[in-house]
Structure 1
Amino acid sequence: MRQLGGTELKRLHRSWRRKDSFRLALLLEDVQSPFNVGSIMRTAAALSVSELFVSGRTAAPGSPKAQKTALGTGRYLTWSTHEDVATAVRAARADGYHVVGLELADEAEPLAAMDLRRDVCLLIGNEDRGLSASALGLCDAVGYVPQTGRVGSLNVAVATGVACYEVRRQAWADAPAVDSGDAE
Protein backbone atom coordinates (compact mmCIF):
# COMPACT_ATOMS: atom_id res chain seq x y z
CA MET A 1 0.00 0.00 0.00
CA ARG A 2 1.24 3.52 -0.76
CA GLN A 3 -0.07 7.03 -0.41
CA LEU A 4 -1.70 8.58 -3.46
CA GLY A 5 0.13 11.28 -5.39
CA GLY A 6 -1.29 14.63 -6.45
CA THR A 7 -2.89 13.54 -9.73
CA GLU A 8 -4.27 10.37 -8.16
CA LEU A 9 -5.80 12.40 -5.32
CA LYS A 10 -7.46 14.76 -7.78
CA ARG A 11 -8.95 11.82 -9.67
CA LEU A 12 -10.16 10.15 -6.48
CA HIS A 13 -11.78 13.35 -5.19
CA ARG A 14 -13.33 14.05 -8.59
CA SER A 15 -14.93 10.60 -8.59
CA TRP A 16 -16.56 11.32 -5.21
CA ARG A 17 -17.59 14.83 -6.30
CA ARG A 18 -19.52 13.25 -9.18
CA LYS A 19 -21.64 11.45 -6.58
CA ASP A 20 -22.75 14.74 -4.96
CA SER A 21 -26.35 14.95 -6.07
CA PHE A 22 -27.47 17.57 -3.55
CA ARG A 23 -26.20 21.00 -2.55
CA LEU A 24 -24.92 21.63 0.94
CA ALA A 25 -24.74 25.06 2.60
CA LEU A 26 -23.82 26.32 6.06
CA LEU A 27 -25.39 29.12 8.06
CA LEU A 28 -23.30 30.35 10.99
CA GLU A 29 -25.08 32.18 13.82
CA ASP A 30 -22.76 34.00 16.24
CA VAL A 31 -19.75 31.71 15.74
CA GLN A 32 -17.39 34.27 17.24
CA SER A 33 -13.98 32.61 17.11
CA PRO A 34 -12.20 33.32 13.82
CA PHE A 35 -10.27 30.09 14.34
CA ASN A 36 -13.51 28.08 14.42
CA VAL A 37 -14.78 29.97 11.36
CA GLY A 38 -11.51 29.23 9.53
CA SER A 39 -11.68 25.56 10.45
CA ILE A 40 -15.30 25.39 9.29
CA MET A 41 -14.28 27.07 6.03
CA ARG A 42 -11.59 24.45 5.39
CA THR A 43 -14.05 21.62 6.00
CA ALA A 44 -16.63 23.40 3.83
CA ALA A 45 -14.19 23.63 0.96
CA ALA A 46 -13.22 19.96 1.34
CA LEU A 47 -16.86 18.81 1.25
CA SER A 48 -18.08 21.10 -1.57
CA VAL A 49 -20.23 23.43 0.49
CA SER A 50 -22.04 25.65 -2.02
CA GLU A 51 -22.67 28.69 0.15
CA LEU A 52 -21.73 30.03 3.56
CA PHE A 53 -24.35 32.30 5.15
CA VAL A 54 -22.84 34.39 7.96
CA SER A 55 -25.11 36.04 10.54
CA GLY A 56 -25.02 37.96 13.79
CA ARG A 57 -21.68 38.22 15.59
CA THR A 58 -19.95 35.55 13.51
CA ALA A 59 -16.28 36.30 12.86
CA ALA A 60 -15.71 37.52 9.32
CA PRO A 61 -14.56 34.74 6.98
CA GLY A 62 -12.16 37.22 5.37
CA SER A 63 -10.43 38.15 8.65
CA PRO A 64 -6.70 37.35 8.84
CA LYS A 65 -7.16 34.80 11.68
CA ALA A 66 -9.97 32.96 9.88
CA GLN A 67 -8.00 32.96 6.64
CA LYS A 68 -4.88 31.67 8.40
CA THR A 69 -6.80 28.73 9.87
CA ALA A 70 -8.60 28.08 6.56
CA LEU A 71 -5.17 27.73 4.88
CA GLY A 72 -6.26 29.49 1.69
CA THR A 73 -9.42 27.45 1.16
CA GLY A 74 -11.60 30.56 1.43
CA ARG A 75 -11.05 31.14 -2.29
CA TYR A 76 -13.20 28.06 -2.97
CA LEU A 77 -16.18 29.37 -0.99
CA THR A 78 -18.92 31.88 -1.59
CA TRP A 79 -20.25 33.64 1.47
CA SER A 80 -22.79 36.31 2.25
CA THR A 81 -23.22 38.33 5.42
CA HIS A 82 -26.63 38.86 7.04
CA GLU A 83 -27.51 41.14 9.96
CA ASP A 84 -29.48 38.47 11.80
CA VAL A 85 -30.31 34.78 11.62
CA ALA A 86 -33.88 35.34 10.36
CA THR A 87 -32.58 37.24 7.31
CA ALA A 88 -29.99 34.53 6.67
CA VAL A 89 -32.58 31.73 6.94
CA ARG A 90 -34.83 33.57 4.47
CA ALA A 91 -31.89 33.84 2.06
CA ALA A 92 -31.13 30.12 2.42
CA ARG A 93 -34.75 29.16 1.82
CA ALA A 94 -34.94 31.51 -1.17
CA ASP A 95 -31.97 29.57 -2.59
CA GLY A 96 -33.96 26.34 -2.17
CA TYR A 97 -32.38 24.92 0.98
CA HIS A 98 -34.05 22.83 3.69
CA VAL A 99 -32.72 24.40 6.93
CA VAL A 100 -31.51 21.88 9.51
CA GLY A 101 -30.30 23.16 12.86
CA LEU A 102 -27.45 21.38 14.61
CA GLU A 103 -28.28 21.45 18.31
CA LEU A 104 -28.63 19.25 21.38
CA ALA A 105 -32.33 19.99 21.87
CA ASP A 106 -35.23 18.00 23.33
CA GLU A 107 -36.94 17.31 19.99
CA ALA A 108 -33.76 16.93 17.91
CA GLU A 109 -33.11 13.67 16.04
CA PRO A 110 -29.78 11.92 15.52
CA LEU A 111 -28.41 13.17 12.18
CA ALA A 112 -27.93 9.59 10.95
CA ALA A 113 -31.67 8.94 11.48
CA MET A 114 -32.73 11.99 9.46
CA ASP A 115 -33.30 11.98 5.70
CA LEU A 116 -30.79 14.56 4.51
CA ARG A 117 -30.87 13.57 0.82
CA ARG A 118 -31.89 16.99 -0.51
CA ASP A 119 -30.43 20.49 -0.69
CA VAL A 120 -29.57 21.13 2.97
CA CYS A 121 -28.36 24.20 4.82
CA LEU A 122 -26.96 23.30 8.22
CA LEU A 123 -27.58 26.03 10.80
CA ILE A 124 -24.67 26.17 13.26
CA GLY A 125 -24.71 28.15 16.52
CA ASN A 126 -22.39 29.83 18.99
CA GLU A 127 -19.47 27.90 20.49
CA ASP A 128 -20.84 28.08 24.05
CA ARG A 129 -24.59 28.73 23.77
CA GLY A 130 -25.44 26.87 20.57
CA LEU A 131 -28.39 28.10 18.52
CA SER A 132 -30.55 30.92 19.82
CA ALA A 133 -34.20 30.23 20.61
CA SER A 134 -35.21 32.28 17.57
CA ALA A 135 -32.90 30.25 15.31
CA LEU A 136 -34.32 26.98 16.64
CA GLY A 137 -37.82 28.23 15.82
CA LEU A 138 -36.80 28.96 12.22
CA CYS A 139 -35.45 25.47 11.47
CA ASP A 140 -37.27 22.98 9.24
CA ALA A 141 -35.70 20.23 11.35
CA VAL A 142 -33.14 19.91 14.14
CA GLY A 143 -30.51 17.20 14.44
CA TYR A 144 -27.62 16.32 16.70
CA VAL A 145 -24.44 14.28 16.66
CA PRO A 146 -24.80 11.34 19.08
CA GLN A 147 -21.91 11.03 21.52
CA THR A 148 -21.01 8.08 23.68
CA GLY A 149 -18.10 9.49 25.68
CA ARG A 150 -18.02 11.40 28.92
CA VAL A 151 -17.88 14.81 27.25
CA GLY A 152 -21.28 16.32 26.51
CA SER A 153 -20.48 18.33 23.39
CA LEU A 154 -18.05 18.79 20.53
CA ASN A 155 -16.13 21.83 19.38
CA VAL A 156 -18.35 23.74 16.93
CA ALA A 157 -15.95 23.21 14.02
CA VAL A 158 -15.70 19.47 14.71
CA ALA A 159 -19.47 19.10 15.06
CA THR A 160 -19.91 20.98 11.77
CA GLY A 161 -17.45 18.64 10.06
CA VAL A 162 -19.26 15.55 11.34
CA ALA A 163 -22.63 16.98 10.25
CA CYS A 164 -21.36 17.94 6.77
CA TYR A 165 -19.94 14.46 6.32
CA GLU A 166 -23.25 12.85 7.33
CA VAL A 167 -25.12 14.89 4.72
CA ARG A 168 -22.64 13.81 2.04
CA ARG A 169 -22.57 10.19 3.27
CA GLN A 170 -26.31 9.86 2.84
CA ALA A 171 -26.16 11.11 -0.74
CA TRP A 172 -23.19 8.88 -1.53
CA ALA A 173 -24.99 5.82 -0.13
CA ASP A 174 -27.55 6.05 -2.94
CA ALA A 175 -25.04 6.73 -5.72
CA PRO A 176 -23.23 4.15 -7.88
CA ALA A 177 -19.96 2.77 -6.52
CA VAL A 178 -16.84 4.92 -6.84
CA ASP A 179 -14.05 3.54 -8.98
CA SER A 180 -10.41 3.65 -7.91
CA GLY A 181 -9.98 7.06 -9.52
CA ASP A 182 -7.78 5.74 -12.34
CA ALA A 183 -10.28 6.41 -15.16
CA GLU A 184 -10.85 9.88 -16.53
Structure 2
Amino acid sequence: MTEEYDVEELAPYDPMPHGPPEVGLGPWPGGRAAWPQESHYDPELLEHGDRRNVVDRYRYWRLRAIVADLDTRRHGFHVAIENWQHDFNIGTIVRSANAFLAAEVHIVGRRRWNRRGAMVTDRYQHVRHHDDVPALAEYLRSHADGPIPLLGIDNLPGSLHLETMPLPRRVCFLFGQEGPGLSEQAREAVDGTFSIAQFGSTRSINASAAAAIAMHSWVVQHADLGGEDAWRG
Protein backbone atom coordinates (compact mmCIF):
# COMPACT_ATOMS: atom_id res chain seq x y z
CA MET A 1 0.00 0.00 0.00
CA THR A 2 1.38 3.42 -0.93
CA GLU A 3 1.31 6.00 1.82
CA GLU A 4 0.19 9.50 0.92
CA TYR A 5 1.72 12.63 2.40
CA ASP A 6 0.78 16.27 2.38
CA VAL A 7 3.92 17.70 0.82
CA GLU A 8 3.33 21.09 2.42
CA GLU A 9 3.60 19.53 5.90
CA LEU A 10 6.94 17.84 5.20
CA ALA A 11 10.06 19.82 6.03
CA PRO A 12 12.68 19.76 3.25
CA TYR A 13 15.46 17.25 3.86
CA ASP A 14 18.69 18.91 4.91
CA PRO A 15 21.63 16.46 4.80
CA MET A 16 23.78 18.90 6.83
CA PRO A 17 21.45 20.69 9.29
CA HIS A 18 24.37 22.30 11.11
CA GLY A 19 26.25 23.35 7.99
CA PRO A 20 29.03 21.56 6.08
CA PRO A 21 31.77 20.00 8.23
CA GLU A 22 34.88 22.14 8.52
CA VAL A 23 37.80 20.83 6.51
CA GLY A 24 41.37 20.80 7.79
CA LEU A 25 42.73 22.43 10.90
CA GLY A 26 42.69 25.90 12.39
CA PRO A 27 45.71 27.92 13.58
CA TRP A 28 48.45 25.96 15.35
CA PRO A 29 47.42 25.75 19.02
CA GLY A 30 49.48 27.66 21.52
CA GLY A 31 50.37 30.62 19.34
CA ARG A 32 53.69 31.52 17.74
CA ALA A 33 55.70 30.34 20.72
CA ALA A 34 54.50 26.78 20.08
CA TRP A 35 55.13 26.73 16.33
CA PRO A 36 57.31 23.89 15.01
CA GLN A 37 60.62 25.12 13.64
CA GLU A 38 61.21 22.66 10.77
CA SER A 39 61.64 24.41 7.42
CA HIS A 40 58.82 22.51 5.68
CA TYR A 41 56.20 24.29 7.78
CA ASP A 42 54.51 27.39 6.32
CA PRO A 43 54.22 30.34 8.78
CA GLU A 44 51.06 31.61 7.04
CA LEU A 45 49.33 28.27 7.50
CA LEU A 46 50.51 27.93 11.09
CA GLU A 47 49.05 31.34 11.88
CA HIS A 48 45.77 31.15 9.98
CA GLY A 49 45.07 27.43 9.70
CA ASP A 50 45.25 24.91 6.88
CA ARG A 51 41.98 24.22 5.04
CA ARG A 52 43.54 22.76 1.89
CA ASN A 53 42.54 19.50 0.25
CA VAL A 54 45.50 17.55 1.65
CA VAL A 55 45.83 14.58 4.00
CA ASP A 56 46.62 15.35 7.63
CA ARG A 57 50.20 14.20 7.12
CA TYR A 58 50.79 17.41 5.14
CA ARG A 59 48.89 19.89 7.30
CA TYR A 60 50.75 23.21 7.60
CA TRP A 61 53.43 22.09 5.10
CA ARG A 62 54.67 24.40 2.36
CA LEU A 63 53.51 23.46 -1.13
CA ARG A 64 57.02 22.82 -2.44
CA ALA A 65 57.79 20.67 0.59
CA ILE A 66 54.77 18.47 -0.10
CA VAL A 67 55.79 18.05 -3.75
CA ALA A 68 59.36 17.21 -2.74
CA ASP A 69 58.14 14.55 -0.31
CA LEU A 70 55.79 13.05 -2.91
CA ASP A 71 58.69 12.95 -5.38
CA THR A 72 60.57 10.56 -3.10
CA ARG A 73 57.90 7.87 -3.50
CA ARG A 74 55.98 8.43 -6.72
CA HIS A 75 54.76 5.33 -8.51
CA GLY A 76 56.04 4.05 -11.83
CA PHE A 77 52.98 4.80 -13.96
CA HIS A 78 52.24 7.92 -16.01
CA VAL A 79 48.86 9.14 -17.22
CA ALA A 80 48.25 10.86 -20.56
CA ILE A 81 45.01 12.44 -21.81
CA GLU A 82 44.16 13.61 -25.30
CA ASN A 83 42.79 17.16 -25.24
CA TRP A 84 41.41 18.13 -28.64
CA GLN A 85 38.00 19.41 -27.52
CA HIS A 86 38.60 20.81 -24.02
CA ASP A 87 37.53 17.55 -22.38
CA PHE A 88 35.98 18.21 -18.95
CA ASN A 89 37.22 14.83 -17.70
CA ILE A 90 40.84 15.99 -17.57
CA GLY A 91 40.57 17.70 -14.20
CA THR A 92 39.03 14.62 -12.60
CA ILE A 93 41.72 12.40 -14.13
CA VAL A 94 44.42 14.67 -12.71
CA ARG A 95 42.80 14.44 -9.28
CA SER A 96 42.81 10.63 -9.47
CA ALA A 97 46.43 10.68 -10.67
CA ASN A 98 47.33 12.62 -7.55
CA ALA A 99 45.40 10.22 -5.32
CA PHE A 100 47.21 7.21 -6.78
CA LEU A 101 50.54 9.12 -6.92
CA ALA A 102 51.30 8.99 -10.63
CA ALA A 103 54.82 9.85 -11.74
CA GLU A 104 53.61 12.45 -14.25
CA VAL A 105 50.47 13.61 -16.03
CA HIS A 106 50.65 14.41 -19.76
CA ILE A 107 48.19 16.66 -21.60
CA VAL A 108 48.24 15.93 -25.35
CA GLY A 109 46.86 18.49 -27.80
CA ARG A 110 45.42 21.78 -26.59
CA ARG A 111 47.49 23.38 -23.85
CA ARG A 112 44.52 24.86 -22.01
CA TRP A 113 42.37 22.49 -19.96
CA ASN A 114 39.61 22.85 -17.39
CA ARG A 115 41.23 22.65 -13.96
CA ARG A 116 38.05 22.85 -11.94
CA GLY A 117 37.69 19.09 -11.53
CA ALA A 118 41.28 18.79 -10.33
CA MET A 119 40.40 20.53 -7.06
CA VAL A 120 43.89 22.18 -7.12
CA THR A 121 45.59 18.76 -6.98
CA ASP A 122 47.47 19.68 -10.16
CA ARG A 123 49.71 21.82 -7.93
CA TYR A 124 51.15 18.63 -6.47
CA GLN A 125 51.63 16.82 -9.80
CA HIS A 126 54.21 17.13 -12.56
CA VAL A 127 52.01 18.06 -15.53
CA ARG A 128 53.60 18.11 -18.99
CA HIS A 129 52.18 19.25 -22.31
CA HIS A 130 52.78 17.60 -25.69
CA ASP A 131 51.57 18.96 -29.02
CA ASP A 132 50.50 15.54 -30.29
CA VAL A 133 50.71 11.82 -29.57
CA PRO A 134 53.98 11.28 -31.52
CA ALA A 135 55.62 13.92 -29.32
CA LEU A 136 54.39 12.08 -26.22
CA ALA A 137 55.63 8.76 -27.60
CA GLU A 138 59.06 10.24 -28.31
CA TYR A 139 59.28 11.66 -24.79
CA LEU A 140 58.48 8.25 -23.32
CA ARG A 141 60.93 6.42 -25.60
CA SER A 142 63.78 8.75 -24.62
CA HIS A 143 62.96 8.98 -20.91
CA ALA A 144 66.00 9.39 -18.67
CA ASP A 145 65.16 6.22 -16.73
CA GLY A 146 64.66 4.15 -19.89
CA PRO A 147 61.82 3.67 -22.38
CA ILE A 148 58.28 3.68 -20.99
CA PRO A 149 55.60 1.57 -22.76
CA LEU A 150 52.51 3.48 -23.93
CA LEU A 151 49.23 1.61 -23.42
CA GLY A 152 45.91 2.99 -24.62
CA ILE A 153 42.54 2.23 -23.08
CA ASP A 154 39.70 1.64 -25.51
CA ASN A 155 37.30 -1.21 -26.21
CA LEU A 156 38.79 -1.88 -29.64
CA PRO A 157 38.98 -5.28 -31.35
CA GLY A 158 42.06 -7.08 -30.08
CA SER A 159 42.32 -5.10 -26.85
CA LEU A 160 43.62 -7.10 -23.90
CA HIS A 161 41.49 -7.47 -20.80
CA LEU A 162 42.62 -5.18 -17.99
CA GLU A 163 41.30 -7.63 -15.40
CA THR A 164 43.67 -10.41 -16.46
CA MET A 165 46.71 -8.66 -17.96
CA PRO A 166 49.93 -8.11 -16.01
CA LEU A 167 50.62 -4.37 -16.10
CA PRO A 168 54.21 -3.19 -16.56
CA ARG A 169 55.71 -1.54 -13.48
CA ARG A 170 56.75 1.40 -15.66
CA VAL A 171 53.99 2.37 -18.05
CA CYS A 172 52.01 5.31 -19.43
CA PHE A 173 48.25 4.97 -19.74
CA LEU A 174 46.76 6.99 -22.60
CA PHE A 175 43.10 8.00 -22.56
CA GLY A 176 41.16 9.50 -25.45
CA GLN A 177 38.38 12.05 -25.62
CA GLU A 178 35.01 11.36 -24.11
CA GLY A 179 32.90 9.79 -26.87
CA PRO A 180 35.29 9.04 -29.75
CA GLY A 181 37.95 7.46 -27.53
CA LEU A 182 41.52 7.22 -28.75
CA SER A 183 42.28 9.18 -31.91
CA GLU A 184 43.62 7.42 -34.99
CA GLN A 185 46.98 9.00 -34.28
CA ALA A 186 46.93 7.53 -30.77
CA ARG A 187 45.93 4.06 -31.99
CA GLU A 188 48.94 4.03 -34.29
CA ALA A 189 51.37 5.21 -31.60
CA VAL A 190 50.46 2.98 -28.65
CA ASP A 191 52.28 -0.26 -27.88
CA GLY A 192 48.95 -1.94 -27.17
CA THR A 193 45.42 -1.33 -25.92
CA PHE A 194 43.35 -2.78 -23.12
CA SER A 195 39.67 -2.67 -22.27
CA ILE A 196 37.63 -2.76 -19.07
CA ALA A 197 34.94 -5.41 -18.67
CA GLN A 198 31.37 -4.09 -18.91
CA PHE A 199 28.08 -5.90 -18.49
CA GLY A 200 25.36 -3.32 -19.19
CA SER A 201 23.92 -1.70 -22.30
CA THR A 202 26.22 1.32 -22.59
CA ARG A 203 28.99 1.17 -25.19
CA SER A 204 31.60 2.72 -22.92
CA ILE A 205 32.16 4.16 -19.46
CA ASN A 206 33.16 7.70 -18.61
CA ALA A 207 36.80 8.47 -19.44
CA SER A 208 37.65 9.67 -15.95
CA ALA A 209 36.06 6.55 -14.43
CA ALA A 210 38.08 4.35 -16.81
CA ALA A 211 41.26 6.21 -15.86
CA ALA A 212 40.63 5.67 -12.16
CA ILE A 213 40.01 1.96 -12.71
CA ALA A 214 43.24 1.60 -14.70
CA MET A 215 45.31 3.44 -12.09
CA HIS A 216 43.83 1.41 -9.27
CA SER A 217 44.57 -1.79 -11.18
CA TRP A 218 48.23 -0.74 -11.33
CA VAL A 219 48.16 0.00 -7.58
CA VAL A 220 46.72 -3.45 -6.82
CA GLN A 221 49.53 -5.12 -8.78
CA HIS A 222 52.52 -3.01 -7.82
CA ALA A 223 51.97 -0.66 -4.85
CA ASP A 224 52.79 -1.39 -1.23
CA LEU A 225 49.21 -1.41 0.01
CA GLY A 226 50.20 -2.17 3.56
CA GLY A 227 52.99 0.39 3.78
CA GLU A 228 52.96 3.50 5.93
CA ASP A 229 52.60 5.71 2.84
CA ALA A 230 49.20 4.24 1.96
CA TRP A 231 46.18 5.76 3.66
CA ARG A 232 42.46 5.18 3.46
CA GLY A 233 40.22 8.18 2.75
TM bucket (normalised to shorter chain) is 0.7 to 0.9
Task: Indicate the residue corresponding to 2:201 in structure 1.
Answer: 150
CA contact (8 A) 2:86 2:112 kept: no
Aligned residues: 163
Matched letter for residue 174 of structure 2: L
Q: How much does 1:177 deviate?
A: 4.4
- For residues 67 and 133 of structure 1, the distance between their equivalents in structure 2, rounded to whole angstroms, comes to 26
CA contact (8 A) 1:25 1:121 kept: yes
Which of residues 71, 74, 84 is equivalent to 2:122? 74
**1:119-149 deviations in Å (ceiling 9; x for gaps):** 1100111111111222112111210111112
Q: How much does 1:167 deviate?
A: 1.3
Which of residues 60, 79, 83 is equivalent to 2:112? 60
- For residues 169 and 77 of structure 1, the distance between their equivalents in structure 2, rounded to whole angstroms, comes to 21
- For residues 98 and 85 of structure 2, the distance between their equivalents in structure 1, rounded to whole angstroms, comes to 20
- For residues 75 and 97 of structure 2, the distance between their equivalents in structure 1, rounded to whole angstroms, comes to 14
Pair 1:119-2:170 in alignment:
yes
- For residues 193 and 128 of structure 2, the distance between their equivalents in structure 1, rounded to whole angstroms, comes to 23
Task: Indicate the residue corresponding to 1:163 in structure 2.
Answer: 214
- For residues 84 and 104 of structure 2, the distance between their equivalents in structure 1, rounded to whole angstroms, comes to 16
Q: How much does 1:21 deviate?
A: 8.4
Higher RCO structure (Cα 8 Å, ≥6 apart): 1
Task: Indicate the residue corresponding to 1:46 in structure 2.
Answer: 99
Pair member with larger Rg: 2
CA contact (8 A) 1:93 1:99 kept: no
**1:80-107 deviations in Å (ceiling 9; x for gaps):** 2111111111112222321111011111
CA contact (8 A) 1:145 1:159 kept: yes
RMSD: 2.8
Which has more helix, going by share of residues? 1
Pair 1:98-2:146 in alignment:
no
- For residues 33 and 156 of structure 1, the distance between their equivalents in structure 2, rounded to whole angstroms, comes to 13
Which of residues 62, 80, 89 is equivalent to 1:27? 80
Which is further off, 141-150 or 33-42? Answer: 33-42
Structure 1 unaligned segments of length 5 or more: list them.
1-5, 12-16
Structure 2 unaligned segments of length 5 or more: list them.
1-23, 25-54, 58-69
Task: Indicate the residue corresponding to 2:52 in structure 1.
Answer: none
Q: Using the aligned pairs only, state the percent identity.
A: 28
Q: How much does 1:46 deviate?
A: 0.4
